[in-house]
Structure 1
């Protein structure tokens, strides 16, 4: 009987995204007891008064004339126009001003409150996710998705790999030019059924979308949220070092595509080779992959799919050209959902029910986003990010240039965990790190490259970024993703190091 009980014992599974995040949250809070708190003086531009405001670590503020002379005096190498035209919006760390402040450890109360504050802080993203879920719910009920997927499967039969190449390349293009990242959340409910219909697993879809975005942002060209703002903070043009990043982008996309395509081919030939084979039926049920006869792609359904696709085109245009953010994007999808509801022919009551049901399907995703933000809140409140930055900047001063740049890559990987925002990390760290390049005789664009590669690499796996929200959306556990991505992360880390050494010695 004991033997029988052991056989029927439930297999242990990896913790959910929420558990992983809460573990990281607790560990982050513990760090605020161990690492001394400290801060740099922060410089910001007050557009109403046309002055610079300095916020000291003890909370005192001081105003200074908004002139280039002020920036030069403070050793902030950015030009004045980058502040006045809004290119640099966030407070910038002033080099040489670090000082310890009173310890502010984050205890039980702060840990409990942090997820709530995290949800408040990410409400714009959460609303975006809910509205997208509602639109997907309407489209699924109408049959437009099933009809479209069946049609696409017939067109790409035997050449499904083209879909992987197309999606990865297109999203990488969005990532490198305007920082396409959070916007990709909208793509998973649409593309996952298409990849499953092509006999790939969900990991192939995640890799095409998430790694496309990650590689694009890692090798940024004109991305205003990383390459441009980082270069501005370093006092150089974003065109400096651009050639190396373009070459790196092309080669990194090729490396990533080869890796994904090899895995995809293996899974397509033998589904049992999938790292998530044990979840195959569960995932197919979640995404309504019906092997039966799909509805006919009528003129009405075609029109609905065209409008839905046009919504993405408008969104990309709005973000890239008009400076839209989540309020505008969410409003766009809401209008699109209403139009699709009218075209579907369903009544008002049915439309509302399906829209709400679709939004409800993404509640877990929305909450994961909020809890992930809670980790950053605890670290910021504990005042340890600047202490970590100061420690590393002091440790690498005066090193050999080749060793220096490899260590810079590793440092930005570590800092990218604590500060996952590319623009936030740029304005906090680049003013401190860029002058170190001068001391070892390197151009400052090498620092920008190391910053981009470092924060790009850690984004593949960091729980404080988008990956756990992505995995929650498709119900894949974190350990499966790590098993899939770690070899590719190793290849790209080595590639990044080689690119930096070439840039240093070119």
Structure 2
């Protein structure tokens, strides 16, 4: 009798049951709200303002009889309200073009479409075959070099969503070199999040958190630089060892079957295929486009709307080159077909982004000055942390930020919601505000590697054709290692009076 192998549920199924749990919670946890205030802080000599919650202003909302209000979730709501069965639509249309969910959904689909055009030219495949031919015996060096560069990108300018596009290039390369799609995700997205979490200057995370907490922006950089170096080295060693084991026995990979998509694509070609001028121009377009994106992010704080349009431009130019040079016998209509096919490939990832946002909507949203169950959960956790000894409080701050990141994945959004509460609580618990910021950035950044509510993660997994359940099964051990090292760094920070 064969043993039945437990199959990890589909990402949609997991999100559905989390939404169901959130709906049940709304019947037992009362809604609460904070008042907000404007604060100013200095960032590189520039004065900035941020709307944050007032930690002393929390109140449970009560009815006319003075009883706490429980806004239990109905099965269905009309008039654009959020009932349990409304969560998919309401999640997909929530937010704006600057963030989750509708902006991120559009971002993912446009990037998918742009790379669909690029893939139609076959320039990526020919380039990969060319790299394989020229790096025989030295291909293992690609892993530490790429991991280092992506981690640096996450640390310096908060790289995250951009990893989706890079995964479309590097995942097929990793599979072609005898590794797997998981290796491709590790050296792109995971590396960016390790850099993001341990950064000394990330403008979307640590800089905002320090400004809100009232500590000098970009202060204590040497400690964070050392932390970034340790975490990045840890990630490189882990990925390198894993990749080597897969190279020896590819069948061991959890994505061995799904990687067939990339293997079959490569098996139709041999290493004697000519890498033509047209292919070179497409690759040059991608490199120039990425340089344009990096410049825009660093110099002008380009975000989702600008970056999506930049990727669309890259795809369009690549398509025109493909038609002119007749790459893969391309015609004008193939540009449109490539865009459609590419967007279609990332449609499941885009849908997950909207569905995951539905979890927050069911809990009442993430606005601090609107009544919600999420605000009550935030306040309750904050109160519990404040009563513990210094080192324990700091560790629990980190664990709380990690859990809270499931609901609010945005680094700047989570900073605005949690740091006004955590900073004064740190004072009460005898923990420095700098340590509170450290707990925030580690909790916020590292959990992006596993939480299914992270649009960038789901987009990258979609590009790599990895189901979230399979990814969670693989990354769980590495996450435990990251948590353990994070706790060690937090305890060190407390003990040296950071």
- TM-score, normalised with respect to structure 2: 0.87
Corresponding position of 2:269: 292
What displacement does 1:213 show?
1.3
Paired residues, number: 463
What displacement does 1:97 show?
0.8
What displacement does 1:451 show?
0.8
- Deviation string 1:351-410 (CA, Å, 9 cap, x unpaired) is 222222222222222212221222222223471222122112222324321222112112
Corresponding position of 1:499: 489
What displacement does 1:456 show?
2.3
Corresponding position of 1:462: 451
What displacement does 1:248 show?
0.7
356-365 vs 256-265, which moves further: 356-365
Among 52, 75, 90, which residue is 1:117 paired with?
Answer: 90
Corresponding position of 1:141: 120
What displacement does 1:418 show?
2.4
What displacement does 1:129 show?
2.1
In 1, Cα distance between equivalents of 2:85 and 2:463: 24
In 1, Cα distance between equivalents of 2:4 and 2:336: 39
- TM-score, normalised with respect to structure 1: 0.86
118-127 vs 226-235, which moves further: 118-127
In 2, Cα distance between equivalents of 1:200 and 1:88: 47
In 2, Cα distance between equivalents of 1:95 and 1:10: 51
Corresponding position of 1:103: 70
Q: Is the 8 A contact 1:87 1:229 kept in 2?
A: no
Q: Report the 3-state secondary structure (helix = DSSP H, G, I; strand = E; otherwise coil) of the residue aligned with 1:92.
A: strand
Structure 2 unpaired stretches of 5+: 62-68, 77-82, 95-100, 324-329, 366-370
In 1, Cα distance between equivalents of 2:307 and 2:320: 20
Structure 1 unpaired stretches of 5+: 1-5, 45-77
Q: Report whether the alignment pairs 1:43 with 2:43.
A: no
What displacement does 1:180 show?
0.9
Evaluate the alpha carbon distance shift between residue 157 and residue 106 of structure 1 in structure 2; reply closer, same or farther with a 3 A threshold: farther
When the two chains are superposed, the root-mean-square deviation of aligned CA atoms in Å is 2.3
What displacement does 1:335 show?
2.0
In 1, Cα distance between equivalents of 2:345 and 2:152: 30
Matching of residues 62-211 of structure 1 within 5 Å: 78-79=39-40, 87-89=48-50, 91-101=51-61, 102-109=69-76, 110-121=83-94, 122-211=101-190
In 2, Cα distance between equivalents of 1:80 and 1:299: 51
Corresponding position of 1:426: 415
Q: Report the 3-state secondary structure (helix = DSSP H, G, I; strand = E; otherwise coil) of the residue aligned with 2:56.
A: coil
What displacement does 1:134 show?
2.3
Among 405, 414, 421, which residue is 1:416 paired with?
Answer: 405
Among 427, 437, 440, which residue is 1:438 paired with?
Answer: 427
In 2, Cα distance between equivalents of 1:465 and 1:178: 18
Q: Report the 3-state secondary structure (helix = DSSP H, G, I; strand = E; otherwise coil) of the residue aligned with 1:420.
A: coil
What displacement does 1:282 show?
4.5
Matching of residues 348-497 of structure 1 within 5 Å: 348-381=332-365, 383-466=372-455, 467-497=457-487
What displacement does 1:481 show?
1.7
Matching of residues 340-351 of structure 1 within 5 Å: 340-345=318-323, 346-351=330-335
Corresponding position of 1:325: 303
What displacement does 1:253 show?
0.5
What displacement does 1:263 show?
0.7
In 2, Cα distance between equivalents of 1:468 and 1:143: 25
Q: Is the 8 A contact 1:368 1:472 kept in 2?
A: no
Evaluate the alpha carbon distance shift between residue 203 and residue 221 of structure 1 in structure 2; reply closer, same or farther with a 3 A threshold: same
Q: Report the 3-state secondary structure (helix = DSSP H, G, I; strand = E; otherwise coil) of the residue aligned with 1:99.
A: strand
What displacement does 1:255 show?
0.7
What displacement does 1:100 show?
0.4
Among 281, 296, 307, which residue is 1:303 paired with?
Answer: 281
397-406 vs 200-209, which moves further: 397-406
In 2, Cα distance between equivalents of 1:271 and 1:360: 28
Q: Report the 3-state secondary structure (helix = DSSP H, G, I; strand = E; otherwise coil) of the residue aligned with 1:277.
A: coil
Q: Is the 8 A contact 1:88 1:232 kept in 2?
A: no
